[in-house]
Structure 1
């Protein structure tokens, strides 16, 4: 396993556990629309290293662990970081776009960055296989699309502190960065390029028609 990836997972774990045990630290660095609009833009980055609970952290880091090696092997460490942080920031920007008038909106999680890595890896290797619960085989693109469809449910349910909107911003960030780096994918992997846009189109349609409320 790439040491670079383990360090990134470790940083997420250390910051998250600090947040689990220090409420003031959690509140200071979480995504909070009112605070960001008051000038605390750093929260758009720091919130991506906090998590709501151990299950949230474990799910994101396990997902990153499975998908990141493809991006690392293809792009190398530096461009992997570009995908990760471009996706993280894109997730925060989309969240601000959707919730800019909801001053009390709060969220945390590496989900935006992780979803960007998912989309990047699926574009690079669409036939990759995963094993849910280490036993049930599933195609990577099925997992990725299902992940975003579940995020739409989470956005409508509004029953947790997870940044579901950031999943889509992250997906867009990872998707666009990968296509810019490897534009030949538009021709060699046309079906997957189109397929991966479907959940994103559904999200903006639901937002436009006010069906996310």
Structure 2
């Protein structure tokens, strides 16, 4: 884990700072921005509110939501950025968020009441990109339960599909799934060597 915040790779540091600044501002100073910037599938095309595709990834419903996403980015972002380079990492981060929103749009495009916020799509993409490089790294699920990254990835996809179909709670499970799959696809597309690294790690390379 990085010891010095300023020693983080530039793109990881940029998104950490930007998310924290915007998150704190919207939660403490101007909460109305959360609704104005949220991803609302019903409105983005009908009202041509294209900015919501991006702005939704920088507002959160609460400080715990923001904290969990930023801790995950802090742990895994530096590794992925160092592995693929800052330019590719930028595309993986933003691309995963857009793919997550695309899946959300497809499912909820006819629901005027639906909205979603948070960087979870982008964070899921970063986490799953990490799994390509270190599939057997032990993750502390909820910071307590040890689990290899590859097992976590499989369970994450299965549970996200299940929860999305049943619309469990108010969590955008399809966005988590879209971001995760987007992170995998973009990493393999932008950094094809990741496939060889993954296969080598699981004994098939």
TM-score interval for Structure 1 and Structure 2 normalised by the shorter chain: 0.7 to 0.9
TM-score, normalised relative to structure 2:
0.81
Alignment match of 1:55 (pick from 64, 71, 93): 64
Aligned counterparts of 2:198 and 2:77: Cα–Cα separation in 1: 20
Alignment match of 1:92 (pick from 85, 101, 106): 101
Counterpart position of 2:13: 6
Counterpart position of 1:171: 180
Moved more, 21-30 or 138-147: 138-147
Distance 1:150 1:12, change over 3 A: farther
Counterpart position of 1:206: none
RMSD: 2.5
Aligned counterparts of 1:76 and 1:187: Cα–Cα separation in 2: 17
Aligned counterparts of 1:3 and 1:93: Cα–Cα separation in 2: 28
TM-score, normalised relative to structure 1:
0.79
Task: Tell me how many residue pairs correspond in the alignment.
Answer: 192
Counterpart position of 1:106: 115
Aligned counterparts of 1:91 and 1:137: Cα–Cα separation in 2: 27
* Superposition deviation, residue 6 in structure 1: 2.9
Asked if 1:25 corresponds to 2:28, the answer is no
Counterpart position of 1:16: 23
* Superposition deviation, residue 150 in structure 1: 4.4
Asked if 1:43 corresponds to 2:47, the answer is no
Distance 1:73 1:188, change over 3 A: closer
Alignment match of 1:129 (pick from 130, 138, 144): 138
Counterpart position of 1:202: none
- Where 1:137 maps in the other structure, the secondary structure is strand
Counterpart position of 2:77: 68
Q: What CA deviation, in whole Å up to 9, does each residue of 1:93-115 have, x standing for no partner?
A: 11101111112211111111011
Counterpart position of 2:42: 34
* Superposition deviation, residue 18 in structure 1: 2.1
Aligned counterparts of 1:163 and 1:110: Cα–Cα separation in 2: 11
Counterpart position of 1:146: 155
Distance 1:173 1:41, change over 3 A: same
